[in-house]
């Protein structure tokens, strides 16, 4: 996907001025936040489970090489074909080669954020293959020619009215406004595609090293169809998706679905090991798994490694005051919210996503709700430090800091400058002792007044009182 994170400020401002978006985001806050809180009450040993989940993910990352080798060995022993890709482009090429080799004309897709990273749909469509997103949210945004604004509720930015208009225009059927009827219509429209597709593409929530299994967590049933009905199934997964055992998956799922949607379990957990076996009446003839780096080894080697623990529940964005206000599109790439503010610079380059680590209040709501305890505010702080160290901040900011550093190293000059500022500030504050317009800080003082200084610096007052 094209990176537009550099336009964060402009897009955030537009988002704030969009009443439809604000209505849609209100739903998210109401449902997801309270749903998560309620469902986690069932786990009286929540902290113990979180700690174990964190350490199971850390184990996976600490032994990533051996676990991936075991995964590959076990998957191949069951007839799966394992491929490796270093970049998003390589993923796209591999998928297209598999499709061409199997004379594929139509592909059904279950949601994959990695597929969004690589721009897989556009690539395949450009090669003349029909690609159908089948997760309802993804289907809506595909038809609207948009990108997902949330990792598990991709169309959360759309109101029902907007979806009704879209369906009427695309399906050429009478407009429906009842959400149940709209859903039924989508089932009717998509069902024939499931039954006629040649190939299915899914992501993977986890890869299980113990058994060579790739697994997905879904609610709609489209994931089951995508992995069962077409004659070829391709799963794409980042290297960090591996877990050691089926037991690890089982106990982490208790946190994943509750943190994501407040469900104690999602409707379908689908564990796939190899293609159709002798005697089976269903299942694909070929099962391919593409294991993808695309920036992950770089993160593994960096001090942002903890971000790779992420199990993609979306709780950090659901709870983020910035995400709740501006939605996902402003972040400008695949992953929005706090995890996006870390992963986007890490994957596409800090200089391509300068605003994201700063687009946070560091309130640590995200850190508190993260089921695998990723210290997201700390990671954002590290990225802010890197911006300064690499000289990536805008020039007025760099100049200001340089001037401050110059003065701070010269106590006499510092005392004189701050003394002047304190006196000017006092004068500017007038009788009410409030500064209405801050020179160089107009945006800040547009909605509030700055209390004027007393006219003396701390050091002057201290000397006076002693």
Residue 211 engages another protein in binding (rule: CB under 8 A): yes
Residue 293 or 355 having the CB closest to another protein: 293
In the chain, what are the helix, strand and coil shares in percent, each to the nearest 5? 55, 10, 35
Residue 300 engages another protein in binding (rule: CB under 8 A): yes
The 330-359 contact track toward another protein, x by CB under 8 A, reads ------------------------------
Which residue, chain included where needed, has tokens 């992995």?
Answer: 227
DSSP state string for 355-420: TGGGSS----HHHHH-TT---HHHHHHHHHHHHHHTT-S-HHHHHHHHHHHHHHT-HHHHHHHHHH
Residue 156 engages another protein in binding (rule: CB under 8 A): yes
* Cβ burial, residue 78 (10 Å; 0-12/13-18/19+): middle
Sequence-distant (≥ 6) Cβ neighbours of residue 321 within 8 angstroms:
361, 363, 365
- In the list 102, 149, 213, 259, the residue contacting another protein (rule: CB under 8 A) is 213
Nearest to 243 by CA among 311, 305, 301: 311
Cβ contact 250:306 at 8 Å: no
In the complex, what is the shortest distance from the CB of residue 138 to another protein, in angstroms, rounded to a whole number? 9
State the CB neighbour count (10 A cutoff) for residue 315.
28
- In the list 76, 144, 189, 246, the residue contacting another protein (rule: CB under 8 A) is 246
Residue 75 or 354 having the CB closest to another protein: 75
Residue 185 engages another protein in binding (rule: CB under 8 A): no
In the complex, what is the shortest distance from the CB of residue 372 to another protein, in angstroms, rounded to a whole number? 12
The 107-146 contact track toward another protein, x by CB under 8 A, reads ---------------------------xxxx--x------
- In the list 280, 447, 464, 465, the residue contacting another protein (rule: CB under 8 A) is 280
Q: Which residues, numbered 83-102, are part of the site for another protein (CB under 8 A)? A: 84-86, 90
Residue 225 engages another protein in binding (rule: CB under 8 A): yes
Residue 260 engages another protein in binding (rule: CB under 8 A): no
Residue 392 backbone dihedrals phi, psi, to 5 degrees: -95, -5
Cβ contact 222:110 at 8 Å: yes
Residue 168 engages another protein in binding (rule: CB under 8 A): no
Residue 140 or 376 having the CB closest to another protein: 140
* Cβ burial, residue 291 (10 Å; 0-12/13-18/19+): buried
Q: Which residues, numbered 31-70, are part of the site for another protein (CB under 8 A)? A: 31-32, 42-45, 48-49, 52-53, 56, 59, 62-70
Residue 437 backbone dihedrals phi, psi, to 5 degrees: -125, 120
Q: Which residues, numbered 9-38, are part of the site for another protein (CB under 8 A)? A: 24, 27-28, 30-32
CA-to-CA dists, residue 419 to 95, 165, 256, 424, 441, angstroms: 67, 63, 55, 9, 20
In the complex, what is the shortest distance from the CB of residue 303 to another protein, in angstroms, rounded to a whole number? 12
Helix (H/G/I), strand (E/B), else coil: 64: helix
In the complex, what is the shortest distance from the CB of residue 112 to another protein, in angstroms, rounded to a whole number? 16
- In the list 14, 221, 358, 434, the residue contacting another protein (rule: CB under 8 A) is 221
Candidates 290-298, 366-374, 389-397, 439-447 — which segment interacts with another protein by CB under 8 A?
290-298
């Amino acid at each position: 996907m094209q990176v537009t994170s550099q336009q964060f400020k402009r897009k955030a401002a537009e988002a704030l001025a969009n009443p439809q978006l604000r209505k849609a985001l209100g739903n998210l806050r109401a449902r997801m936040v309270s749903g998560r809180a309620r469902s986690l009450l069932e786990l009286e040993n929540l902290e113990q489970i979180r700690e174990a989940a964190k350490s199971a993910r850390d184990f996976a990352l600490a032994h990533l090489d051996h676990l991936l080798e075991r995964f590959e060995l076990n998957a191949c022993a069951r007839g799966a074909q394992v491929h490796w890709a270093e970049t998003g482009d390589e993923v796209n090429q591999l998928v297209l080669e598999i499709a061409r080799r199997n004379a594929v004309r139509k592909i059904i897709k279950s949601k994959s954020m990695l597929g969004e990273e690589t721009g897989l749909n556009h690539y395949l469509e450009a090669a003349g293959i029909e690609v159908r997103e089948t997760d309802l949210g993804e289907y809506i945004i595909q038809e609207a020619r948009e990108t997902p604004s949330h990792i598990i509720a991709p169309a959360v930015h759309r109101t029902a009215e907007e979806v009704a208009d879209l369906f009427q225009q695309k399906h050429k059927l009478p407009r429906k406004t009842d959400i149940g009827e709209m859903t039924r219509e989508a089932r009717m429209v998509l069902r024939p595609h499931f039954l006629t597709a040649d190939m299915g593409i899914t992501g993977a929530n986890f890869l299980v090293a113990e058994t060579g299994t790739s697994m997905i967590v879904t609610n709609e049933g489209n994931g089951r169809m995508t992995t069962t009905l077409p004659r070829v199934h391709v799963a794409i997964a980042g290297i960090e998706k591996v877990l050691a055992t089926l037991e690890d998956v089982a106990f982490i799922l208790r946190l994943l679905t509750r943190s994501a949607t407040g469900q104690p379990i999602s409707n379908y957990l689908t564990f796939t090991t190899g293609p159709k076996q002798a005697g089976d009446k269903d299942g694909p003839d070929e099962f391919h798994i593409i294991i993808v780096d695309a920036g992950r080894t770089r993160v593994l080697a960096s001090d942002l490694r903890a971000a790779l623990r992420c199990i993609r529940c979306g709780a950090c964005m659901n709870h983020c005051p910035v995400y709740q206000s501006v939605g996902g599109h402003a972040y400008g790439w695949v992953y929005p919210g706090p995890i996006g503010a870390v992963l986007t610079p890490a994957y596409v380059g800090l200089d391509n996503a300068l605003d994201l680590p700063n687009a946070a209040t560091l309130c640590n709501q995200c850190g508190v709700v993260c089921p695998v305890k990723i210290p997201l505010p700390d990671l954002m702080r590290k990225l802010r430090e890197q911006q300064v160290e690499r000289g990536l901040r805008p020039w007025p900011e760099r100049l200001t800091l340089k001037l401050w550093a110059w003065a701070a190293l010269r106590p006499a000059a510092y005392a004189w400058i701050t003394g002047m500022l304190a006196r000017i500030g006092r004068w500017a504050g007038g009788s009410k002792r409030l500064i209405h317009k801050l020179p160089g800080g107009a945006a800040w003082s547009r909605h509030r007044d700055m209390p004027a200084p007393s006219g003396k610096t701390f050091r002057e007052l201290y000397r006076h009182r002693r």
